[in-house]
Amino acid sequence: MNGKIALLVGLGVGYVLGTRDGRERYEQLKSMAENVWTDPRVQEKVSQATETAQEKASQATKTAQKKVESVAGSTSSSGTSHD
């Protein structure tokens, strides 16, 4: 999905940079992009994606903390000195 969005953005940018239609066409494309971005359905998906990313980041943080605690615990309880 992200690849498709990136492709569309790339095509849009390429068109704008390569077009000879000038400022009028740029403004038309900009207006269309703003209309899509402000669409309630798009904003709902943006909110869902943000929530999912936050949840995944929280899970990743907890997993990393557990792994660090596990490694730190096994190192300190091994009885070896690293001096």
pTM (two decimals): 0.52
Return d(Cα 32, Cα 75) in angstroms, integer.
Answer: 58
**What pLDDT, on the 0 to 100 scale, is given for residue 51?**
96
pLDDT of 5: 81
pLDDT in tens, 5-64: 888 888 887 777 776 667 787 788 889 999 999 999 999 999 999 999 999 999 999 999
Q: What is the pLDDT of residue 66?
A: 92
- List Cα–Cα distances, 77 to 29, 68, 70, 83, in angstroms: 63, 14, 11, 15
